[in-house]
Amino acid sequence: SPSPHLTAKMAGTIHTFRHSFQPAATAPRQWRAQRRGLPIAAMSNAEVKGAGPLSKKIKVVGMGSCGVDYLASVAAYPRPDEKLRTEQLEVQGGGNAANALTAAARLGLKPALVTKIGGDGLGDGIITELQGDGIDTTHVMRAQGHPSPFTYIIVDRAGGTRTCIHTPGATLDPSELTQPAVAAILKDAALVYFDGRLTEAALVLAHAARAARIPVLVEAERLRPNLEALLALADVVVTSAHFPQDWTGEAELGDALLAVASRLPRAHTVITTRGVRGAVMLQRGAAVEGSKITGKAALVDVMAQLEKQLATPSISTDCVSKSGVKVARGSVVHAQGAWELQYSAAHNAAAAAASAQGAAARAAALNADARNTSGYAMGSSSSAAATAVAAPAAGIVATVTLASSAALPKDAVVDTTGAGDSFIGSVVYGLATGMPMNKTLTLASVVAACKCTALGARPGLPQRSQLAADLLSA
């Protein structure tokens, strides 16, 4: 945790950049455009017949990280011991769960956030920004005497990457989620989303959600202690591009995705985002009931065939960013019927186990937890009763879907920070409103692309009115 002196300096920085925490709803429209360096005329979205408000209020709950992001945009990532100047500096609210719920709120849902931040000035700014986007902060706990979590983010404009250095805040103890608090959190919730942080406390809420028959979505961004037990409770899992291979050690993404799905039998849907290459989705359960099994094949091969069928993105304008960038939806293809999916010929169980152990060691080191490598490895759940992770299976029966990324001009990409969060926020919207999952993937790719047109995780997130109405209809 930072020293009191550093905390004071941070509070001063927030004061200097206090405009970053002005609620979007109260800041003048013209000023909001000017403060991000956007031309006023670019705010128009006349080319898109935007969606109207949802006909009813739909509550969703998100639990996980929330903090402040210090974003420094640089021309190129610095070499060791090199000094350079920032091209742009932004101080904004951040954290996976908070970002995803902001995306969901702008799409029309009524999210409630469960997290813990500091009782400091940074925390006050965090709350103000969340409330400005219509997020219920009733269950955001404040730790007096502790700083709020914050992240330094270096945005490399030349390489198109972002590097994050995170400082966590106070721990959310499971005992703080009392039965009355859990009941209030879950009341009228259509879905509960977990970003994979605060896992010990998250397990309390996840078990309660399952007992109440509320769908559970779990994000798997990277290896974390107790994440395995949380994943085992999920109905829907969304992973980052590298998580399946890190967790399972498989060399091929298709083999890794198959291993993830076989180990999480409760999850009827597993989605892996692939950055500019879009996303891949496996579905089973109700999705394959009554479907004829088309055949037996390695998932790697099925994905390769579908990749060839992905069409060029449409030339329609499906979203206009606040900076005037036009975004066109991508395409979605799926293998006919359900498939008996198997591992590829390259699958090697022993090599995969060794690779997974190495990934666990790297994750522990990156999380300043090098002595706890075993806690990051598959099979690390502390309580067998808390997890339903299955032993590796030879294969599964599932449908396979590939979605391309949305299209926008390459030079319009400003920053990818929070792209995955915006994708997940869109999946939350699709699940809560009953959208078909194929259509949800299309929406998610458009929202993620629009987000990338501005610096930071939230300024580029679109409102409903910026999106083509058919993208949001169930």
Q: Name the strand (E) or helix (H) holding 237.
A: strand 236-239
List alpha helices for 108-252, DSSP H: 121-132, 179-186, 199-211, 227-231, 243-248
Whole-angstrom distance, CA of residue 367 vs CA of residue 234: 24
Whole-angstrom distance, CA of residue 162 vs CA of residue 170: 25
State the residue for tokens 């759940």. Answer: 381
Q: Are 10 and 122 in contact (CB under 8 A)?
A: yes
Q: What are phi and psi of 90, to 5 degrees?
A: -130, 145
Task: Give yes or no for residue 18 having a pLDDT over 90.
Answer: no
Whole-angstrom distance, CA of residue 313 vs CA of residue 410: 14
State the residue for tokens 């920070």. Answer: 417
Task: Give yes or no for residue 29 having a pLDDT over 50.
Answer: no
Evaluate the CA torsion angle 262, 263, 264, 270 in order and state its sign: negative
Task: Give yes or no for residue 22 having a pLDDT over 70.
Answer: no
Task: Give yes or no for residue 219 having a pLDDT over 90.
Answer: yes
- Spatial neighbors of 82 by CB under 8 A, at least 6 apart, are none
Q: For residue 46, what pLDDT is reported?
A: 52
Task: Give yes or no for residue 212 having a pLDDT over 50.
Answer: yes
* Beta bridge pairs of residue 150: 68, 167
Label residue 367 by pLDDT band (50, 70, 90): confident
Please tell me the total number of residues recorded for the chain in this structure.
474
282, 258, 256: which is closest to 269 by C-alpha?
282
Taking all residues of the chain, what is their mean pLDDT, rounded to a whole number? 87
Task: Give yes or no for residue 247 having a pLDDT over 60.
Answer: yes
State the average pLDDT over residues 39-66. Answer: 75
* Beta bridge pairs of residue 313: none
Q: Are 317 and 471 in contact (CB under 8 A)?
A: no
Q: Are 176 and 200 in contact (CB under 8 A)?
A: no
Task: Give yes or no for residue 37 having a pLDDT over 50.
Answer: no
Task: Give yes or no for residue 3 having a pLDDT over 50.
Answer: no
Q: For residue 35, what pLDDT is reported?
A: 29
Task: Give yes or no for residue 39 having a pLDDT over 90.
Answer: no
Secondary structure of the chain: what % helix, strand, coil (to 5)?
40, 20, 40
Residue 304 token pair: 């390769």
State the average pLDDT over residues 397-418. Answer: 93
Label residue 388 by pLDDT band (50, 70, 90): low
Torsion angle, alpha carbons of 164, 174, 425, 190, to 10: 180
Q: Are 313 and 404 in contact (CB under 8 A)?
A: yes
- Spatial neighbors of 308 by CB under 8 A, at least 6 apart, are none
Residue 207 CA: distances (Å) to CA of 41, 192, 227, 387: 49, 11, 14, 11
Report the alpha-carbon angle 280-282-285, nearest 5. Answer: 160
What is the radius of gyration, based on Cα positions, of the chain?
21
State the residue for tokens 């002196």. Answer: 5
State the average pLDDT over residues 48-55. Answer: 83
State the average pLDDT over residues 238-267. Answer: 96
Whole-angstrom distance, CA of residue 93 vs CA of residue 125: 8
Write down the pTM of the prediction.
Answer: 0.86
Task: Give yes or no for residue 323 having a pLDDT over 70.
Answer: yes
Residue 223 token pair: 């290896």
State the residue for tokens 């925490």. Answer: 21
Q: Name the strand (E) or helix (H) holding 192.
A: strand 189-194
Whole-angstrom distance, CA of residue 227 vs CA of residue 200: 9
Most trustworthy range by pLDDT among 47-51, 233-237, 310-314, 390-394:
233-237
225, 234, 178: which is closest to 206 by C-alpha?
234
- Beta strand extents in 100-157 (DSSP E only): 110-118, 140-143, 150-156
Label residue 474 by pLDDT band (50, 70, 90): confident
Whole-angstrom distance, CA of residue 285 vs CA of residue 292: 13
Report the alpha-carbon angle 313-315-320, nearest 5. Answer: 100
Whole-angstrom distance, CA of residue 344 vs CA of residue 474: 36
